[in-house]
């Protein structure tokens, strides 16, 4: 029975005249033995547009240049209703493509066991396209069981509609955020260029004037601070671009084709299944911070090497110092001068080195970020927080 309490005869997928044929012992159901209403969903899930065209060429069927996917799909569905050269070719292609799944079901002896395995696969939500033909053609499958399989697959079509809209909405939001960040980045760069131009403009000044020297020094510090903000904005823009590219790839994968069937049902493209299995792509998106110079003071040699590899993969440069007695304070000053931002683990750095870098960074108005420990996960969290990326 269907969900609304009516018989499967009402949806046109149960043929009472075939009950006697179902009781006869057999090996596997042939393609032309299935109800014609199932052929559309089966072909759409099992073959791509290119595979459809290859099947027609192997059967020596001419394909007009203006033929659409719907025309080819309907022609193949009509051929599957009877046994002929094209339907035998399609059945052979199905058996070859899903041979491993067919072999895996050989131990199933009853219809109840077959339905239980289908429900188990359905609960996982993946691999249904590869299982549809093996389950439909299984010797224990009856018209009623096949109608249940078809109803489940048909429900995927409506889920694909909402999933596509959700992904497109995410893409639109990311595009808006990316445009806003690019605009702000351009404005900051323009302001920096104007400040730099004013600072480098030749002026007649008194060499003994301490006020002008102080003004130049202040401007240099402000310029360094603005450079830091520009680096952070660049990191956010690149990270959002990576996320946007990932969302666009997901949206392109959510495609389907609707081919009207005699009973009014639609069909779902195989591409939806591949897209639905990779929904959470944001967690894998990494920072991209090319040109940024990061200083790391303290930590352990092993963790510093992992952090160095992490930074180099994202285009940044890591300058490290052991934060202890093995490396001189003079080198620490040189390191702090070259860095754009300074990180140090509070649990693995000498007290003198920590005080020295704090004093230096405060004088130069350079950001210094303490880390709870020397692990790479703590470093990554602090770096993302500094870049303003969640």
Examine the domain organization and report whether 52 and 117 are in the same domain. yes
Examine the domain organization and report whether 187 and 147 are in the same domain. no
Answer whether residue 267 is part of any domain: no
pLDDT band for position 370 (cuts 50, 70, 90): very high
Are 384 and 287 in contact, with CB atoms under 8 Å apart? yes
Are 294 and 320 in contact, with CB atoms under 8 Å apart? no
Q: How many domains does the chain have?
A: 3
Examine the domain organization and report whether 185 and 153 are in the same domain. no
Examine the domain organization and report whether 19 and 84 are in the same domain. yes
Query: For residue 200, what are the CA distances in angstroms to 114, 125, 216, 217, 231?
Result: 80, 64, 10, 13, 22
Contacts 24+ apart (CB under 8 A), 188-194: 188/226, 188/229, 188/230, 188/233, 189/230, 191/226, 192/223, 192/226, 192/227, 192/230
Examine the domain organization and report whether 79 and 111 are in the same domain. yes
Greater confidence (229 vs 365) lies with: 365
Range in 33-42, 82-91, 126-135, 235-244 with the lowest mean pLDDT: 235-244
Answer whether residue 227 is part of any domain: yes
pLDDT of residue 1 exceeding 50, the answer is no
pLDDT band for position 248 (cuts 50, 70, 90): confident
Answer whether residue 273 is part of any domain: no
Q: DSSP per residue over 236-247, as a string? A: HHHHHHHHHHHH
Examine the domain organization and report whether 43 and 110 are in the same domain. yes
pLDDT of residue 270: 44
Q: For the whole prediction, is pTM greater than 0.85?
A: no
Are 265 and 290 in contact, with CB atoms under 8 Å apart? no
Token reading at 322? 């052991």
Q: Domain of 315: which CATH number?
A: 3.40.50.2300
Examine the domain organization and report whether 74 and 146 are in the same domain. yes
Are 288 and 314 in contact, with CB atoms under 8 Å apart? yes
Examine the domain organization and report whether 181 and 41 are in the same domain. no
Can you give the residue range of the structural domain that contains 373? Answer: 293-387
Answer whether residue 205 is part of any domain: yes
Answer whether residue 324 is part of any domain: yes
Q: Is 89 left (phi over 0), alpha (psi -120 to 50) or beta?
A: alpha
The pLDDT tens digits of the residues spanning 322-346 come to: 877 555 677 888 888 888 889 999 8
> Mean of the pLDDT values across residues 124-139?
81
Question: Please, which residues bridge with residue 177 across strands?
Answer: none
Examine the domain organization and report whether 142 and 21 are in the same domain. yes
Answer whether residue 349 is part of any domain: yes
Are 289 and 238 in contact, with CB atoms under 8 Å apart? yes
pLDDT of residue 325: 54
pLDDT band for position 204 (cuts 50, 70, 90): very low
Last residue of a domain, one of 259, 275, 308: 259
Examine the domain organization and report whether 170 and 241 are in the same domain. yes
Answer whether residue 2 is part of any domain: no
Are 235 and 384 in contact, with CB atoms under 8 Å apart? no
Last residue of a domain, one of 233, 259, 285: 259
The pLDDT tens digits of the residues spanning 344-354 come to: 998 888 888 88
Examine the domain organization and report whether 152 and 40 are in the same domain. yes
pLDDT of residue 212: 65
Last residue of a domain, one of 126, 160, 194: 160
Answer whether residue 288 is part of any domain: no
């Amino acid at each position: 029975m269907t969900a609304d309490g009516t018989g499967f005869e009402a949806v046109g997928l149960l043929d009472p005249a075939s009950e006697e044929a179902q009781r006869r012992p057999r090996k596997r159901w042939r393609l032309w033995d299935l109800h014609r209403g199932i052929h559309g969903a089966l072909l759409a899930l099992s073959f791509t547009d290119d595979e459809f065209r290859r099947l027609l060429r192997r059967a020596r069927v001419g394909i007009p240049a203006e033929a659409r996917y719907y025309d080819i799909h309907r022609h193949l569905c009509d051929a599957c209703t009877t046994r002929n050269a094209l339907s035998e070719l399609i059945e052979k292609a199905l058996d070859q493509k899903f041979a491993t799944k067919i072999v895996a079901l050989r131990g199933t002896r009853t219809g109840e066991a077959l339905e239980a395995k289908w429900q188990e696969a359905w609960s996982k939500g993946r691999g249904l396209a590869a299982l549809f033909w093996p389950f439909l053609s299984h010797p224990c499958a009856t018209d009623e069981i096949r109608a249940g399989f078809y109803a489940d697959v048909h429900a995927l079509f409506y889920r694909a509609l909402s999933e596509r809209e959700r992904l497109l909405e995410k893409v639109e939001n990311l595009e808006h955020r990316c445009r806003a960040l690019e605009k702000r980045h351009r404005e900051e760069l323009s302001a920096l260029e104007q400040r730099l131009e004013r600072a480098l403009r030749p002026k007649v000044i008194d060499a003994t004037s301490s006020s002008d020297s102080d003004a130049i020094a202040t401007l240099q510090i402000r310029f360094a601070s603005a450079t830091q903000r520009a680096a952070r904005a660049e990191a956010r823009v690149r990270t959002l671009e990576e996320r946007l590219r990932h969302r666009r790839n997901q949206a392109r994968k959510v495609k389907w084709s609707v081919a009207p069937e005699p009973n009014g049902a639609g069909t779902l493209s195989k591409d939806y299944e591949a897209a639905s299995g990779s929904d959470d792509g944001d967690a894998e998106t990494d920072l991209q911070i090319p040109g940024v110079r990061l200083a790391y003071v303290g930590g352990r040699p092993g963790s510093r090497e992992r952090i160095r590899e992490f930074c180099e993969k994202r285009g940044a440069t890591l300058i490290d110092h052991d934060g202890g007695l093995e490396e001189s304070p003079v080198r620490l000053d040189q390191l702090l001068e070259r860095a754009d931002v300074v990180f140090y683990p509070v649990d693995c750095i000498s007290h003198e080195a920590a005080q020295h870098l704090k004093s230096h960074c405060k004088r130069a108005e350079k950001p210094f970020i303490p880390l709870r420990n020397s692990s790479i996960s703590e470093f990554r969290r602090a770096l993302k927080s500094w870049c303003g990326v969640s």
